[in-house]
Every structure is written in C-alpha cells, then in structure tokens.
C-alpha cells in the first residue's frame, strides 16, 4: 500500500500542456470519467486512477495542464512538487508520461525538456497525430525518439491506438536513469534563466527540423481565415450574439414538449397520491411538499440537458476559445488578467469549478478579483428561474416576428451578468485589488468535429448531478420549507373573533374550532410571518410576501426559488381548487388584496435580482476556502446583495415610470 | 396525534438532520488546511 492507499508501489504522472489531450488519454487509460473540454486550463484539480501495466496496477496521477515547470503559478507549483516528490500525500512518480500535441510540437516539447532535468524517466505520448497527418505533415517517430533519447509512442485515446505500446514503454523505463539529451553550455549557464530557456528552444528546434516534415499550410490558412472572422472585434461579436440567440431559442422550443410531459407526470403522481391516500398531514406533505417541491425543479431537466449539449458542442468544436478571445480585449481594458477567462467561462456551468480554476492565475490580486466576479456569470442553477419567469410571462412572444422573446431575455440576462462583472472588476482593480495586469498569451485550439461521446458524457454527468441535487438537498429543503409553511395550524373561530388565531404546532385544531382555509393558514405559518416581516423591504421591488419567502429560501441555492414557489402555491391552494402547473399558478397568483402578484415587470425584476445576487451557500464556502478568509465571502455577499437590490429596484421603478407596471 | 403525524414529524426531523449534516460536511470539506499561505490557498 502506498500513501494514497493504492495497491501499487508504482506511481506514474501524466503531464502535458493544456489542451494536449491529456484528460482524454487519462480517461482512456484508467477508464474513469472526467470532464474534457477544448480550451486550455480545464484540469486544475489533481486526478488519480488505476492503470494496468502488464498485469500490475499502477497509480496514474493526472497533473494540471501546464506550459512549464517554472513554478510561477499555483498549478506549476503543484506539478513540480509532485515530480520532485515534495507534494504531501503523493508518492514521487516512478515515471512521467509526457502528453505531447503533435500539432504544437515545439511548444509542447519545452515542458518535456524541463521534465528531463528533474531526473524522472519520461515516455512521450504523442497525441493529435491523426489531425497532424490529416494536415499532410509527416513525423519520424523513431528519429524523434532517438534525438530525445526517450521512448515516443503515437497514441489515439479514441481508437485505443498505441495504448498497449505506451504501457510497455513505461514498463521499460521504470527504474532506469533518464538521460538529458542536451547540455547547457557555459554561455547559457552564465546568462541565467533566459540562457537556459534559449538553449532548450534551440535544441527543440533542431530536433523538430530533423524529425518533422511540413506540407503546405492550406488547412492552417483556412483555420486562420475562419479565425479572422470569428475573432473580428465587430463581426465576431455579431456572430457570438447570433449563436447564443440560436442556442437559447432552441433550448426553449426543444425543451417545451418534454417539460410539459414531466409537469403532467408530476401532476398525475400528485393526484394519484391524493386519490389513493387518506386525507391528512402525510398526504399533504407528499403532494404539496415533496412532489411539488422536487417535481418543480426536476421539470427543468430538459433545459439543463440542452444547455450542456450546446456548451459541450461549442467547447469541443473550438469555438468557446474564440469567444473568450473576443472578450479578452474588453477584460484587459479593465485590468483583469487574461487567464480570468477560463474560470469565468467555467462559471457559466457552475461558479464552484470556475472559482477553483482561478488557481491558474499567479497574481493574488488578479485571482481574487476573478473570484469576486465569477458568480455573476449565469450558472445553470439560474436557468430554472429564468425559464419559469419567461414561460409564465413572455412565452409565445417574438421580436421582429421570428426571434423569440425568451431567447432575447436569456441573452440579456447573460449579457447583464458579464457587463456587471466587467464593471465590478474594473472598480476592484482600481481600488482594493490594484495591480498591473500581466500579459497573457492565449492558445486558440484547432477547429475539430465535436467528439459525440465526450459531449453526451458531459450531458449525462450534468444531468446526474442535477437529479442528485434534486433528490437530496432540494428534497430536504422542500420538506423543511413545507413544514415552515404548514405549521402552526390556526383555527377559524379565533380568526373571526379578531383574536390571534388559535395555533397548534403539532397540527391539532381544537375540536370546537374549524380550521382556516389553506390560503389563510399559509399567512399565519412560520414562513408566512417571516414573509410579512420582510414585505416592506421588498415591496419597492414589486414583490409580495410570498415571493419574499421564496427569495429568502433561494439564498441556500438559486433553484430553491422554483421549488418554494411550487410549494407555496400548492400549500396555499384551498380545498377543491384544481391543480395547475407552476407556470399557470404563478400567472394566476394574487396578493392579499386580490391584485395579480406577478406582472411581466415583476418577473423581469426577479430575473435581474437573480443575475446579481449571491444565492449559493456552496459558492460562499468555496470562496472562504480559496481566499482563506471570511472577509472576502462576506464582502461578496454584501456587495452582490446590495447590487441585486439596486438593480431590481431600478428595473421595477424604472419600468413603472415607463408605464410597464 | 395519529400515525400520519408521527411519520411526518420523523420525515421533517430527518430533513433537518440531513441539512445539518450537509452544512457540517461542506464547511469541513471547504475549510482551508493549516499552513495555507497568504499568497495562494487551498492546495498545500
């Protein structure tokens, strides 16, 4: 047993540049599932897995993607510590599998040169060889291996090409002493670190000249031509907006049928429970708490699946990196580090991996500025909220007769998050986090056909996470919220006599009293009382106390708003009232004085609030960890809540002034 | 108090216990390790 509890004494490190195909190879060798994306910097966390080498199980460690081992960034620190055997809890590797992208040989080999200098045996796994050969280039692998004095194996993780040969070569080099294939001359030694860098590159250049033959650069030229359009500062943005509109429009139109079916399915389950079980508190909990709460969130599964289908397709085709490149100029203008893009793009799925991905940023101030704005990116938990509001108040409306209003509003919400993030970053970088931005070199990966397996794996993983969350955290919160909305039970008699309604936490109404209608019960419940307390604060935003209750609950997790509204409108439904979908319930909801609780302006105001508010306990916890302080997460909650209130206030009051109220 | 109340109260208590455990687990999982540097955090 080693320090990690694995049954093997052999530890192999898998290292390489970002986007070299390292994660795909890791998955292929270990059979583990891991997120694969097509822009650099996705792998931040260390991943481990078993790799069978000639019947023995080795522990394969997936190091973060890096360009060098100069230990300037956190990732490089971790990787060089692991290779030196100085990382606590990780055994020093017996060999390194260096993943080298054949289409970017010179840049990739620089990292390999540094690995040689660490004195650990290296085997080179040459990836993207199919793309390289399609470009009509040729590579003499034997020559490359001879010049580098180390084994080189061409691999293809998808087809399995070279997998066995790679395992055999790794076995061969174990317990051997590696040979550094070049020497630093006296000039290089005296010229400091730069002298060594030039020496390594000189050697690499000679090796590549001896072993690689390039054909004409037709395909490169085509890729460059496409890039000139897609990264153009005007046309690039127009194309980006058009792509996002198409994506959102498709999400709405494709998801509507499965969403309706799911809603009907949960409605049927609820009706079945009510019909088959005796009336009582348990039936109420099952129908109004559990089925309404969890079902209210699960119906948005089709949208989540479609969103991740498109995100994966855009990532895997290489377009996402172009989109990031487009916004780079804007971000650098406000002083934000170029490397902030990758964490911010990850944050569109979820802020937590995005915040963890900021570890690639060397400067503490730049890193903290990125962490502070990452939650503004519209994560997938906001999707159910946006979809509910759009479905209830903007469904079936079109702009210019063919662009759905829903798609335009979704785009507007995403854009609002990005714009506010840029403004906030600009303010932070000029005040509390003042520092000059370091230069950033961004690699644009080649265009390629998306790997459908990776795309569907990504969708499947996200769907599982979403369902797991609905079945655990959302379920528990739904039960708690139902209890807060159900208890205490109040009686009719006391309410009529003008006294405080007679209440019983246990739910027993005195026999001489008749229970209040459910809508009144809700008003006198714990949650109802809390909602009434905060009502004066949220009234300027156009929200009544019921929305207030949902708003408070959503500070645990954003999608809880949907389950809370679902429970509120079910619990508050008087006996005999027909059951309806959540969208219909929201549309028909009334305030205590009988006016509609929601208008299109209220819905828009709520969406703006959700773009800007910090409503995720898990994000707060990860910010606490990554900043090693409570002051930063508290500052984040404070300024984001204030901004959300201000944004919602301006939207509602401004809308009313313009006559939309 | 009938059997339905007893089951419901057990479910509610279970939900509170689960939520509490999750909070505890998350605060532990995300707590910085001792010796975490001021310049970069969360890994060493």
The 10s digit of each residue's pLDDT in A571-595 is: 766 666 656 788 888 999 988 888 8
Query: Bridge-partner residues for A14, per DSSP?
Result: A62, A97
The gap between the terminal CA atoms of chain A, to the nearest Å, is 68
A109: exposed, middle or buried (Cβ count in 10 Å: 0-12, 13-18, 19+): buried
Tens of pLDDT, residues A35-61: 444 333 434 466 778 888 877 888 888
Neighbours of B5 (CB within 10 A): 15
Q: Which of A45, A63, A74 to mutate to test the interface with B (most CBs of B within 10 A)?
A: A74
Nearest in space to A103 (alpha carbons), one of A127, A79, A125: A127
From chain A, pick out residues whose CB is under 8 angstroms from the CB of B42.
356, 359, 625-626, 628
Question: What are A646's two structure tokens?
Answer: 């201000």
Q: Which residues of A touch B7 (CB under 8 A)?
A: 282
A88 with A147, same domain: the answer is yes
Q: Write down the residue that tokens 């313009």 correspond to.
A: A658
The SS3 call for residue A644 is: helix
pLDDT at A41: 40
Pairing relationship of beta strands A403-404 and A122-127 according to DSSP bridges:
unpaired
pLDDT of residue A460 exceeding 90, the answer is: no
Question: How high is the pLDDT of residue A34?
Answer: 54
Token pair recorded at residue A437: 């931005």
Strand A95-101 and strand A403-404: the pairing is unpaired
Residue A462 lies in a domain: no
Q: Is the predicted pLDDT of residue A470 greater than 50, yes or no? A: yes
Give the range among A83-87, A402-406, B16-20 with minimum mean pLDDT.
A83-87
Tracing tokens 């991905």 back to the chain, one arrives at A357
Beta carbons of A628 and B36 less than 8 Å apart: yes
Average pLDDT rounded to a whole number, residues A334-349: 78
In whole angstroms, give the CA distance from residue A532 to residue A552.
12
Residue-wise pLDDT for B3-38, tens only, equals 889 999 999 999 999 988 887 776 665 444 443 334
List the single residue in B1, B15, B29 with the smallest CB-CB distance to A479. B15
Q: Are residues A136 and A199 in the same domain?
A: yes
Please name which of A111, A206, A129 lies closest in space to residue A166, comparing C-alpha atoms. Answer: A129
Is A192 within a domain?
yes
Which of A213, A245, A264 is the C-terminal boundary of a domain? A213
Position A108 in a domain: yes
Mean pLDDT for A425-439 is: 79
Same domain, A181 and A48: yes
pLDDT, average across residues A480-489: 90
Instruction: Please give the pLDDT value at position B39.
Output: 39
Residue among B5, B14, B43 with most chain A CBs within 10 A, to mutate: B43
In a domain, A449, yes or no: no
Share of chain A above pLDDT 70, in %: 85
* Amino acid A42: pLDDT: 38
Same domain, A180 and A293: no
Question: Is A266 found in the same domain as A173?
Answer: no
- Per the CB < 8 Å rule, is A628 touching B41? yes
Question: Would the pLDDT of A506 be above 80?
Answer: no
* Chain A 341-360, residues with CB within 8 Å of chain B CB atoms: 356, 359
Inter-chain residue contact A282 with B7, CB threshold 8 Å: yes
**How far is Cα A611 from Cα A625, in angstroms, rounded to an integer?**
23
A77 close contact with B: CB closer than 8 A: yes
DSSP codes of every residue in A556-622: TBTTHHHHHHHHHHHHTPPTTPPP--HHHHHHH-B-TTSSBS--HHHHHHHHHHHHH---BHHHHHH
User: Is residue A451, in this structure, part of any structural domain at all?
Assistant: no
A550 close to A570: Cβ distance less than 8 angstroms: no
Residue A396 has pLDDT above 60, yes or no: yes
> Is residue A457 a part of any domain in this protein?
no
- A368 vs A434: CA distance, rounded Å: 11
Better-predicted residue by pLDDT, A512 or A43: A512
Distance from CA of B32 to the nearest CA of A (A): 5
List chain B residues with CB under 8 Å of A278: 4
Q: Is the pLDDT of residue A345 over 70?
A: yes
Q: What pLDDT shows up at residue B1?
A: 63
Q: What is the pLDDT of residue B30?
A: 46
* Cα atoms in the 13 Å half-sphere on the side-chain side of A64: 25
Is the residue at A88 inside a domain? yes
Are residues A101 and A162 both part of a single domain? Answer: yes
Residue A377, pLDDT > 90, answer: yes
- Residue in B closest to A469 by C-alpha: B22
Is the domain of A593 the same as that of A532? yes
User: What pLDDT score was predicted for residue A651?
Assistant: 97
Q: Tell me, yes or no, if A452 comes closer than 8 A to chain B by beta carbon.
A: no
CB contact under 8 A, A483 and B12: yes
How confident is the model over A87-99, as a mean pLDDT? 85
For residues A46-59, b (16+ Cβ closer than 10 Å) or e, as one string? bbbbbbebeeeebb
Residue A415 pLDDT: 93
Residue A283: closest C-alpha in chain B: B4
Gyration radius of chain B over CA positions: 19
- Among A303-312, A332-341, A369-378, where is mean pLDDT lowest? A332-341
B21 to chain A: which residues are within 8 Å by CB?
none
Residues A175 and A205 in one domain: yes
Q: What is residue A123's predicted lDDT score, i.e. its pLDDT?
A: 94
What's the confidence (pLDDT) of residue A513? 60
Is A562 found in the same domain as A426?
no
Q: What is the pLDDT of residues A99-142, one digit of tens each?
A: 999 888 888 898 888 888 888 899 999 998 887 777 677 888 99
What is the rounded average pLDDT for all residues in chain A?
83
Q: For chains A and B, what is the number of CB pairs under 8 angstroms?
A: 76
Of A153-167, A258-272, A487-501, B1-15, the poorest mean pLDDT is in A487-501
Does residue A569 contact residue A392 with C-beta atoms inside 8 Å? no
Residues A622 and B18: their CA atoms lie apart, in Å, by 20
Give the closest of B27, B38, B44 to A621, CB-based.
B27
B10 to chain A, closest Cα gap in Å: 11
Q: How far is A432 from chain B (nearest CA, A)?
A: 16
The domain tally of chain A equals 3
* Cα–Cα dist A609/A457, whole Å: 33
Whether A88 and A155 map to the same domain: the answer is yes
Domain of residue A161: give its range: 11-213
Q: Is the pLDDT of residue A314 over 80?
A: yes
CATH number reported for the structural domain that contains residue A199 in this entry: 3.40.50.300
CB atoms within 10 A of CB A363: 19
Nearest-by-Cβ selection for A626 from B16, B22, B42: B42
A415/A523 same-domain check: no
User: For a pLDDT cut of 90, what percent of chain A falls above it?
Assistant: 30
Tell me whether residue A545 is in a domain. yes
Which candidate, A589, A79, A18, places its Cα nearest to that of A321?
A: A18
- Do A359 and B40 lie within an 8 Å CB cutoff? yes
Interface test with B, best of A479, A482, A508, A630 (most B CBs within 10 A): A479
Q: Are residues A253 and A138 in the same domain?
A: no
Please compute the mean of the pLDDT values over residues A434-453 and round it to a whole number: 71
User: By a Cβ cutoff of 8 Å, what residues of chain B touch chain A?
Assistant: 1-2, 4-5, 7-8, 11-12, 14-16, 18-19, 22-23, 26-27, 29-32, 36, 38-44
Mean pLDDT of A528-557: 93
Task: Write down the pLDDT at residue A79.
Answer: 78
Q: Does A382 touch chain B (CB under 8 A)?
A: no
Q: Where residue A7 falls among pLDDT bands split at 50, 70, 90?
A: very low
Question: CA-to-CA distance for A126 and A648, rounded, in angstroms?
Answer: 53
């Amino acid at each position: 047993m080693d320090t990690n509890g694995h049954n093997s004494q052999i530890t192999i490190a898998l290292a390489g540049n970002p986007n070299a195909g390292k994660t795909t190879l890791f998955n292929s060798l270990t059979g583990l599932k891991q997120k694969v994306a097509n822009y650099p910097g996705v792998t931040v966390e260390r991943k481990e897995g078993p790799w069978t080498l000639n019947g023995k199980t080795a522990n394969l460690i997936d190091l973060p993607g890096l360009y060098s081992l100069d230990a300037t960034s956190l990732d490089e620190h971790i990787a060089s510590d692991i290779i030196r055997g100085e990382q606590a809890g990780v055994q020093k590797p017996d060999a390194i599998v260096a993943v080298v992208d054949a289409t970017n040989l010179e840049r990739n080999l620089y990292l390999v040169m540094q690995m040689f200098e660490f004195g650990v045996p290296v085997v080179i796994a040459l990836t993207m060889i199919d793309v390289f050969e399609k470009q009509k280039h040729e590579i003499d692998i034997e020559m490359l291996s001879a010049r580098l004095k180390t084994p080189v194996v061409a691999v293809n993780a998808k087809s399995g090409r070279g997998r066995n040969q790679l395992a055999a070569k790794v076995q061969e080099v174990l317990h051997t002493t590696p040979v550094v294939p070049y020497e630093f001359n006296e000039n290089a030694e005296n010229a400091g670190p730069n002298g060594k860098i030039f020496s390594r590159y000189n050697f690499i250049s000679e090796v590549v000249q001896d072993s690689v033959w390039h054909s004409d650069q037709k395909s490169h030229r085509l890729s460059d031509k496409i890039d000139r359009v897609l990264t153009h500062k005007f046309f690039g943005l127009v194309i980006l907006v058009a792509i996002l509109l198409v994506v959102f429009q498709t999400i709405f139109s494709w998801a509507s049928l499965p969403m309706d079916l799911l809603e009907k399915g949960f409605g049927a389950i609820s009706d079945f429970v009510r019909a088959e079980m005796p009336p009582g508190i348990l039936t109420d909990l099952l129908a109004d708490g559990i089925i309404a709460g969890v079902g209210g969130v699960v119906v948005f599964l089709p949208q989540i699946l479609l969103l991740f289908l498109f995100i994966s397709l855009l990532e895997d085709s290489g377009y996402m990196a172009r989109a990031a490149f487009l916004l780079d100029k804007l971000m650098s203008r406000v002083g934000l580090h170029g490397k902030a893009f990758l964490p911010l793009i990850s944050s569109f799925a979820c802020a937590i991996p995005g915040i963890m991905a900021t570890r690639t940023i060397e400067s503490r101030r730049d890193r903290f500025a990125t962490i502070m704005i990452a939650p503004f990116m519209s994560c997938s938990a906001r999707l159910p909220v946006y979809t509910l509001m759009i479905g209830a108040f903007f469904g079936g409306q079109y702009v210019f007769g063919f662009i759905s209003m829903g798609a335009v509003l979704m785009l507007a919400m995403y854009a609002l998050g990005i714009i506010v993030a840029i403004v906030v970053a600009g303010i932070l970088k000029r005040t509390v986090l003042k520092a000059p931005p370091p230069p950033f070199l961004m690699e644009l990966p080649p265009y390629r056909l998306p790997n459908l397996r990776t795309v569907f794996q990504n969708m499947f993983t996200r769907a599982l996470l979403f369902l797991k969350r609905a079945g655990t955290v959302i379920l528990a919160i739904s039960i708690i919220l139902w209890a807060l909305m159900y208890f205490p039970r109040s009686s009719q008699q006391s309410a009529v006599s003008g006294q405080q309604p007679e209440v019983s936490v246990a739910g027993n109404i005195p026999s001489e009293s008749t229970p209040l209608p459910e809508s009144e019960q809700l008003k006198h419940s714990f949650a109802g009382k809390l909602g009434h307390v905060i009502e004066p604060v949220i009234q300027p935003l156009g929200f009544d106390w019921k929305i207030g209750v949902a708003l408070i609950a959503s500070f645990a997790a954003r999608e809880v708003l949907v389950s809370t509204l679902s429970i509120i409108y079910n619990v508050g439904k008087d006996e005999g009232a027909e059951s309806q979908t959540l969208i219909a319930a929201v549309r028909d909801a009334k305030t205590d004085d009988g006016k509609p609780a929601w208008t299109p302006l209220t819905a828009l105001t709520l969406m703006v609030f959700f773009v800007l508010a910090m409503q995720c306990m898990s994000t707060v916890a990860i910010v606490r960890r990554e900043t090693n302080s409570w002051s930063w997460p508290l500052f984040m909650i404070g300024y984001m809540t204030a901004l959300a209130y201000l944004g919602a206030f301006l939207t509602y009051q401004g809308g009313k002034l313009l006559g939309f109220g | 108090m009938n059997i339905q109340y007893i089951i419901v109260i057990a479910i509610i208590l279970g939900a509170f216990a689960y939520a509490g455990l999750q909070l505890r687990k998350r605060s532990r999982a995300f707590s910085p390790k001792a010796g975490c540097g001021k310049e970069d955090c969360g890994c060493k």
